[in-house]
Structure 1
Amino acid sequence: MKRLISTAALVAAMSVGAGAAGAQVLELAVSDSPAGLDPHIVTAFASFQVVNGTVYEALTEVGPDLRIRPSLAESWEVSDDGTTYTFTLREGVTFHDGSAMTAEDVVASIERVKSEAIGSPLASRVAAVAGASAVDERTVEMTLSEPSAPFLTQLASIAIVPSAFQADAESLQQQPVGTGPFAFEEWQPNNFILLGANEDYWRDGMPKLDGVRFNIVPESATRQVGIASGQYQMLPNIDAATALQLQGRPGVVLQDTLELSYTLIGMNTSQPPFDDPLVRQAVNYALDREAIVQAALFGSGVPAGPLSPALEAWARDVSEFPCYQHSPERARELLAEAGVETPVKLTMLVLPRQDIRDIAQVAQAQLEAAGFEVELNIPELGTFVQDWRNSNFEIFASANAGSVDPDDFFYRAFRTGGSTNVFKYSDPRVDELLETGRTERDEAARKAAYDELQGILACEGPVAHVAYGQLYTATREGLSGFEIIANRSLSTLAETSTAQ
């Protein structure tokens, strides 16, 4: 069994500045308490940033340069037809409960994500896996029903968990068990989550910290005072408004990068009025994305098309989409053409995150100028997630995660029956293009498919893409080794250390 730092020891040394000399427990402050910690079930960023790359790891990982690299799999081979992947696992990797990670755990993790009983929102990412088997303790063979160009990228989001949890949809939500640099220690709801160093971690010399404590601090002003005073050493993944307040503060350092995730207005296409593509187009014409970026994101971002500009080889410029020309008049014309009575009365479900609240308020005014009457509903996070997953909304404001491959932006969200297609959206041509983009191994052919797909989704899809924001992390001077990643992962905490 591993020896982990005890909770009592961590609490006693919980601040580098206030604890015992040489203590290396990093104090972070975050705005929201996670809704759960199961890596195959959670969808909220508040959960993702606690466990991704810290508690849990996958066969592959996304590095700070947004390239895919080996993680729990040290190498792999792909058959000539692109349908068989053979992975060689690292030797000597153990879970935080002391058990050895083997090929059986990898197979069980894949099957768990695919299981209807578990209901994982990641299921679409492994939909092409027809079978997975353990050849021996360190060799896994996966057979795909068809070639999948983004497969290695998608595996980076599939955490490996012990096989004992394959049919258990409850335990990991409260007490995660992974292979990562930090192990779960304690969770006091709405107070803090404590992770301790994994002393048997497979990467030599890591982690450099004795632990990480995620302090739940809802008030932005309190978090800002905390990092300025040295009470906290990091505010991860903060918005532009917070970063602006911290700019120039003595002892505070800001890192930034353009996000892969995007903010959006999502529409339920299974019920009027959003079952009509004309109404969805009207929403797009109603939005002035530049004004939203300036007002809600303080200019720190860019108007969002279906793909992030960070994916330079794939993303189309938003100037190519007609509906991005802000025109309340054209929006009203489309509503009249659709035969809907104005004002169109709606309730917008809003993710309780400050930048999303701000975006929703600006969008509310813009939509009302174009023939909509919008009431905002801002519930607590758990309620939002439940309503979102159950498609219990007319329209919502939120954020969607992105990745380094276009398939991860599109397939699970917009394919008919996709695992996060909460919009109930279905379009045969979109489904066809998604399959082409996923299975075609020729880069030019994939590019052509995704170009056409972006054109459809930008104006007639179930999402009005709003903005890709500039993502910031604030740290105290003396913190070294941390590197911000555009997908919001805190995996580089393994390499982070503080000044003695």
Structure 2
Amino acid sequence: MRLLKPALLATMLALPLAVPAAFAETPPDVLVVAQNIDDIVAIDPAQAYEFTSGELVTNTYDRLVQYDAEDTTVLAPGLATSWEIDAEAKTIVFTLRDGVTFHSGNPMRAEDVVFSFSRVVQLNLTPAFILTQLGWTPENVAEMVTADGNTVTVRYEGDYSPAFVMNVLAARPASVVDMETVMANEVDGDMGNAWLNANTAGTGPFSLSVFRAAELIRLEANPDYFNGGPAIDGVIIRHVAESATQQLLLESGDVDIARNLTPDQIASLGGEGLVVETFPQAAVHFLSFNQAVDSLTPPAVWEAARYLVDYEGMTNSFLAGQMEIHQAFWPEGFPGALTDNPFSYDPERAAQILAEAGVELPITVSLDVINAAPFTDMAQSLQASFAEADINFDILPGTGSQVITRYRERSHEAMLLYWGPDFMDPHSNAKAFAYNSNNAQDAYAATTTWRNSWAVPDEMNAMTTAALTEADPAAREEMYLELQRQVQASSPIVIMFQASYQVAMAPNVSGYVNGATSDFVFYRLVDKN
């Protein structure tokens, strides 16, 4: 594998970032990406919570178990090669991979894993809740995670399925950091936080060589990566805020990938042989009805609504490239997702359902929507299609914060919004769409069910709880599939679409992986033929 010559690297780093570069060809072994990266607040895995920082962490660190570029739907061995689960004792013993080294050259040890997990809990920054839900606290984490030779024992509290725990341990804050390097850079008891927000200390397929916030990220390939060294020597991510500039850079050959083009720009790409790939994303978009509004409580209204959405009309026009039809609460591309889409636009059938149920018409209902594209366009489409069955929407546009505040207060009537999981486990969305054991006004819950005042049936609540604790992976997955079917068939929440993401790239680029979340953006398999 050829290394980037120092002179060429210096030239690349010196290039202006907001205008096309002087050359019209990128280096043959370096992937150059145009992307808006000004969302980064932190890159320390114990703190990183933004989209771009998630991508950076994924490409520079590893976890005991992880979803990998080769198949983002499979939870695969990472820094651990095997594990033994004792569900009754709520214990998982991991055997670590031999011969793994950090980018510093230090060997990766069980003590590094213990330190990494404890550090997240001790610092208690934004993503710490993902690990602390296992019952870990600053006071007990030393007993909950322990090292013995080449093994790490993880203990947890709560009635959780081991599969749930494994997914928690595959999440971003469970990334393993180099204890010696991090603590050598500790300042005022920050456990290396300031240093790790400008550097990386991982074992991943790439190491961070340059990080200039809202300007540039430079990754160098780790040829000794345990899962196979990257096919390219490095990645340069240039901060290009304007999508029009990204398009110009791609068409002129100054970048290999443009990450933030609009659908109109995608449609107008003029570069020879440019390729556009579409990747499903985690957010599901839905229409919901507040059950505190009497006219919206009949199940026939919920059923009819599923036939009053012009799914194809929207995805074939103004939503093209932005969303795909998806009618279940767990996103496609995640293990356990239901991909059946049984509903289509059929206003005659909807009218028949309402008539047979004796629903009093017309129904007039306010529809809260974020005052931005494509949400206002979606609302207008729903307004037109639902009017075919005498359900009339009064559209109430507002800022994102205004709309979400009304949703949290349960002061809306109908709501057009979206939802995404916090981590890779179906319970993350099942608790939002299929569980509400206390519908009281003062029992606030950050779920779509509670916010829509829907008292979920006891049987569904029980299945959601049982799925969380089910130890058999196959049985657990089937339970989540059944929960998705039930919510899909009968609930006041009409799930319509899953967000999609389009990436434009040069014709010689292959192997780029952009999974459903920012944690699933991988450069390891990229090749430039």
Q: How does the TM-score come out when normalised to structure 2?
A: 0.68
Q: Does structure 2 retain, via aligned residues, the 8 Å contact 1:389–1:420?
A: no
Q: Which amino acid aligns with 1:251?
A: G
Q: Does structure 2 retain, via aligned residues, the 8 Å contact 1:240–1:470?
A: no
- In 2, distance between residues paired with 1:413 and 1:168? 38
1:473 to 458, 483, 503: 503
Does residue 30 of structure 1 match 2:35? yes
Specify every segment of 5 or more residues in structure 1 that has no aligned partner in the other structure, as ranges: none
Does residue 140 of structure 1 match 2:164? no
Which has the larger displacement, 259-268 or 134-143? 259-268
Q: Does structure 2 retain, via aligned residues, the 8 Å contact 1:114–1:126?
A: no
- In 2, distance between residues paired with 1:194 and 1:227? 18
2:282 to 258, 261, 267: 261
Check 1:470–1:18 CA distance in 2 against 1; reply closer, same or farther (3 A cut): same
2:64 to 46, 59, 67: 59
Give the match for residue 430 of structure 2. 410
1:440 to 458, 462, 470: 470
Residues 218-266 of structure 1 show CA distances to partners (whole Å, capped at 9, x for unaligned) of: 43x43333212212211248776654444x8413123445x25243137
- In 2, distance between residues paired with 1:91 and 1:161? 15
Give the match for residue 274 of structure 2. 252
Does residue 374 of structure 1 match 2:395? yes
Q: Does structure 1 retain, via aligned residues, the 8 Å contact 2:87–2:161?
A: no
Map 1:144-155 onto structure 2 (within 5 A): 144-145=156-157, 146-155=160-169
Check 1:173–1:301 CA distance in 2 against 1; reply closer, same or farther (3 A cut): farther
Give the match for residue 348 of structure 1. 369
Q: Does structure 2 retain, via aligned residues, the 8 Å contact 1:196–1:211?
A: yes
Q: Does structure 1 retain, via aligned residues, the 8 Å contact 2:305–2:494?
A: yes
Check 1:345–1:111 CA distance in 2 against 1; reply closer, same or farther (3 A cut): farther
Does residue 118 of structure 1 match 2:138? no
Secondary structure in 2 aligned to 1:149?
helix
Secondary structure in 1 aligned to 2:316?
helix
Give the match for residue 325 of structure 2. 302
C-alpha deviation, 1:208, in angstroms? 2.7
Q: Does structure 2 retain, via aligned residues, the 8 Å contact 1:132–1:140?
A: no
Residues 98-135 of structure 1 show CA distances to partners (whole Å, capped at 9, x for unaligned) of: 87654445345545667895353862895487973222
Map 1:247-326 onto structure 2 (within 5 A): 249-257=271-279, 259=280, 261-265=282-286, 284=306, 286-298=308-320, 301-308=324-331, 315=338, 317-319=340-342
Secondary structure in 2 aligned to 1:54?
helix
Give the match for residue 398 of structure 1. 418
Q: Which amino acid aligns with 1:349?
A: I
C-alpha deviation, 1:442, in angstroms? 3.9
2:92 to 82, 85, 88: 85
Give the match for residue 183 of structure 1. 208
2:241 to 217, 234, 246: 217
Q: Does structure 2 retain, via aligned residues, the 8 Å contact 1:262–1:304?
A: no
Residues 409-441 of structure 1 show CA distances to partners (whole Å, capped at 9, x for unaligned) of: 434775569996476457454442223223323
Q: What RMSD in Å do the two structures reach over aligned CA positions?
A: 5.3
Check 1:196–1:71 CA distance in 2 against 1; reply closer, same or farther (3 A cut): same
Secondary structure in 1 aligned to 2:523?
helix
- In 1, distance between residues paired with 2:525 and 2:258? 17
Which has the larger displacement, 471-480 or 354-363? 354-363
Give the match for residue 439 of structure 2. none
- In 2, distance between residues paired with 1:384 and 1:27? 39
Does residue 195 of structure 1 match 2:218? yes
Secondary structure in 1 aligned to 2:81?
strand
Check 1:153–1:147 CA distance in 2 against 1; reply closer, same or farther (3 A cut): closer
Residues 272-327 of structure 1 show CA distances to partners (whole Å, capped at 9, x for unaligned) of: 799968687786565332322222333873333224455797626332x7x98667
- In 1, distance between residues paired with 2:48 and 2:486? 29
The structure with the largest alpha-carbon Rg is 2
- In 1, distance between residues paired with 2:491 and 2:64? 33
1:11 to 8, 13, 20: 13
- In 2, distance between residues paired with 1:302 and 1:31? 27
Check 1:127–1:384 CA distance in 2 against 1; reply closer, same or farther (3 A cut): farther
Q: How does the TM-score come out when normalised to structure 1?
A: 0.72
1:231 to 238, 241, 254: 254
- In 2, distance between residues paired with 1:389 and 1:175? 38
C-alpha deviation, 1:467, in angstroms? 1.7
Specify every segment of 5 or more residues in structure 2 that has no aligned partner in the other structure, as ranges: 1-5, 437-442
2:170 to 156, 166, 179: 156
Give the match for residue 482 of structure 1. 512
Q: Does structure 2 retain, via aligned residues, the 8 Å contact 1:402–1:487?
A: no
Secondary structure in 2 aligned to 1:182?
strand
How high is the sequence identity, in percent, across the aligned residues? 19
Q: Does structure 1 retain, via aligned residues, the 8 Å contact 2:35–2:237?
A: no
Q: Does structure 2 retain, via aligned residues, the 8 Å contact 1:114–1:120?
A: no
Q: Does structure 2 retain, via aligned residues, the 8 Å contact 1:206–1:495?
A: yes
- In 1, distance between residues paired with 2:190 and 2:510? 40
- In 1, distance between residues paired with 2:471 and 2:271? 49
Which has the larger displacement, 442-451 or 388-397? 388-397
- In 1, distance between residues paired with 2:209 and 2:382? 39
- In 2, distance between residues paired with 1:324 and 1:173? 51
Does residue 68 of structure 1 match 2:70? no
Q: Which amino acid aligns with 1:140?
A: V
